[in-house]
Amino acid sequence: MTERRDENHDVHPDATVGYDYDEDSDPPVLGADATVRAGTVIYDDVAIGDGFTTGHDALVREKTIIGDDVVVGTNTVIDGQTTVGSHVSMQSNVYVPTNTTIGDQVFLGPCAVLTNDAYPIRTESELTGPTLEDHVSVGANATLLPGVTVGEGSFVAAGSVVTDDVPPETLAVGAPAEHRSLPDKLEGGNRI
């Protein structure tokens, strides 16, 4: 059962809002004016602000906190224990792993992949996702490796592989991504 702060929701019948993953879990909190499309699953122990919208078949796992006016696109996965700011747009097929932090006014293009395991299966290590500061844009099919920080106002070009921290107001391009000056036309932050 979802705890709702407002009844003005459009939750499609084939969506699950309140997936009980643990007997001690609490129902998710869903802010005002939410649209949750068919196939979407939102786990318990999730807090979501106002104006939340999903595409079809999105997944939001436990212990995730999401701000206001956030779009989670079709087939996008937020794998839990993650913080997402306000005015964030995640397009279709985005993957956000456990222990990731996403600031305000952030854009993640289609098929962007964030990772949290430096050596999958080979060694045991702490899972640490990337940190995307405010006004970051990540292009389609870009990959961000575990623990990297993408600084405020930076832009990650489509298809890039970010292996190191990206300073604020920087363009990251290529595989592995090189840092360049942010072109004038990309300055000024996002308006989501």
| Average pLDDT score over residue span 132-143 | 98
155-188 pLDDT per residue, tens? 999 999 999 999 999 999 999 999 999 999 999 8
**Residue 53 and residue 130 share a domain:** no
- Please report whether residue 78 resides in a domain: no
36-73 pLDDT per residue, tens? 999 999 999 999 999 999 999 999 999 999 999 999 99
**Residue 180 and residue 98 share a domain:** yes
Distance in angstroms (rounded) separating the CA atoms of residues 111 and 91: 8
Number of domains in the chain: 2
**Residue 100 and residue 178 share a domain:** yes
Among the residue ranges 36-40, 80-84, 123-127, the one predicted with the least confidence is: 123-127
SS3 state of residue 185:
helix
Full residue range of the structural domain in which residue 111 is found: 91-185
The owner of tokens 């079709």 is 74
- Please report whether residue 2 resides in a domain: yes
**Residue 167 and residue 95 share a domain:** yes
Q: What is the CATH number of the domain that holds 106?
A: 2.160.10.10
Helix (H) or strand (E) holding 132: strand 131-132
The residue type found at 117 is: D
Among the residue ranges 9-13, 47-51, 86-90, 164-168, the one predicted with the least confidence is: 9-13
Dihedral (CA of 95, 132, 27, 10) sign = negative
